Structures are given as C-alpha cells and as structure tokens.
Amino acid sequence: MLKLGVNIDHVATLREARYRGRLAGEPCPVEAARISEAAGAHGITAHLREDRRHMQDRDIWKLREIVKTRLNLEMANTPEIVALALKLKPEIVCLVPERRQEVTTEGGLDVVANEKALTETCKKMRDAGIEVSLFIAPDAKQIEASARTGAQFIELHTGSFAEAFSKAESGKRKAETELERLITGAEQAHALGLKVNAGHGLNYENLPAMRRVPHLVELNIGHSIISRAVFVGLDKAVREMLALLRGKR
C-alpha cells in the first residue's frame, strides 16, 4: 500500500508567525506529529532549515523522542545540518536544495553538479544506519546521478505536475505531460535499484492521479493537510488523505 508521510513544517510556520524567538508557542508541531500518527500516518516529515524559519532544533529533538513510525528529516547538504542528522539518527533524511528567498522548497537538487559532495554525505549516513533520499526533478540525468551516489531513495518533485493540474481545462494537457514524466522517472529509478517517493504541491484534488505512477513507496504531503485541518481538524484531514491513497473518495 502507498504510504503517507505528513509534513508538519507549516504547523511550525504558523507558530513562528507570532512566537518567533520564544521557547514556547502554539500550535505545536510535535503535537501535530502525535495526532498525525494516531490518525494513521506512516511517517512524519520535518525540514530543519539553515535559517530556522519554521522548525527549530528543539522540535526536531523532541520529534526524535516521540515519533513511533518513521522520522524523515528534510535537510540541506551542509556541514552543520549533516552533523546534526548524524547525532539525531532519523530513519531517513531527504536532501533538498535551499534558497533563502523561497517560501518553501522550489525545484530539485542538481545531483549531476553536486554528485561528489552528495556521495560523501550518503556514505556518512549509510555508515550511521540512516537511509537517504534525494529530492529531484523527474529528469533522466538526475536520476542516473542519484543512483551513483549510493542513496536508497529518490523523491520525485511533483510541483510542475501540481501547478499544471490546478489550471483546470487550460492545464490538463500540461498536467498529463508532467504526469508522464513522473511515470517515466519512477520506472527508470526502479530499474536502477532506487526506491521512489514523491511530493510537493500534492493535495486532495490531484492525489488520485498519482496512483498512476508506478513503484511509489511514500507520498510526502504537508501544506494541503494542514490547510484542510483548519476546517476539519488534523485527525480528520489525515484520515481523508489516507482514504484517497486507498482509492476511496
């Protein structure tokens, strides 16, 4: 069965809007992780950015204590964060690009240009018993390079598909093209021995189409679930997304 990783970053984003720089505040991303797991989520995803714009170090360490499923730490490939991850020992890390001006992660890693550095980090993580995923566009050269780094997973960037899907009639042809790219990328990655996750911009409307992408292990979804939770509560929002993963509406 296709698994759901709930990204709780935007719970921290809301907290930091009022309580930035304080040691306490609401809503609590750790409590969001508890509720998501209780609702059936298969894993919890959190991104510790270099600038600490949402998740804070204390959140990450508390998550390591309480997460019972699978903790996925999204992170940049920088010495500080790599060292922290090696101490934290999440089940898996997802290496992503970071740009200071972006609101959320945009675009995938350029593995081709950074293959040596990423390979070194993959080895460090593997030696520590931590799996590695690389967040990349569904591009053949990036997938080939990812397989050479020693990463166990790739996470296919679904942003272009999601953006096209949202444009209704005018975007249908583009959305179909982007979905075919994801299908081709997943097939290529599987053939190279990589496991395949996917995420970015996925929501309750476009998720059913992702069931056409083969070999997917897990979808990581955050903003849409947290947005839905404003109206129906987090427990129900997670359960509704899980129902869609099972093919129910």
pLDDT of residue 167: 76
Task: For residues 100 and 50, give the distance between their C-alpha atoms in angstroms, rounded to a whole number.
Answer: 9
**Burial of residue 197 (number of CB atoms within 10 Å: 0-12, 13-18, 19+):** buried
pLDDT of residue 103: 47
pLDDT of residue 101: 52
State the angle between helix axes of 140-149 and 168-191 in degrees (0 to 180), rounded to the nearest 10: 40
Give bridge partners of residue 3 from the DSSP assignment: 218
Residue among 158, 138, 162 nearest 146 (CA): 138
Q: Which of 16, 37, 74, 178 is catalytic?
A: 74
- Other C-beta atoms closer than 10 Å to the C-beta of 112 total 15
Low-confidence ranges of the chain (pLDDT < 70): 99-106, 168-171, 249
Q: Where are the domains of the chain?
A: 3-245
Phi, psi of 129 (to 5 degrees): 80, 20
Secondary structure (3-state) at 125: helix
pLDDT of residue 248: 72
pLDDT of residue 247: 86
54 in catalytic set: no
Q: Which of 10, 54, 157, 200 is catalytic?
A: 200
C-alpha to C-alpha distances, 183 to 3, 54, 82, 189, 211, nearest whole angstrom: 17, 32, 31, 10, 10
Q: Which two tokens stand for residue 45?
A: 């995803």
Question: How would DSSP label each residue in 17-35?
Answer: HHHTTSS--SS-HHHHHHH
CATH for the stretch 3-245: 3.20.20.70
Q: Which of 10, 37, 42, 47 is catalytic?
A: 47
Q: Which two tokens stand for residue 46?
A: 């959190």
pLDDT of residue 117: 97
The single-letter code of the amino acid at 175 is: A
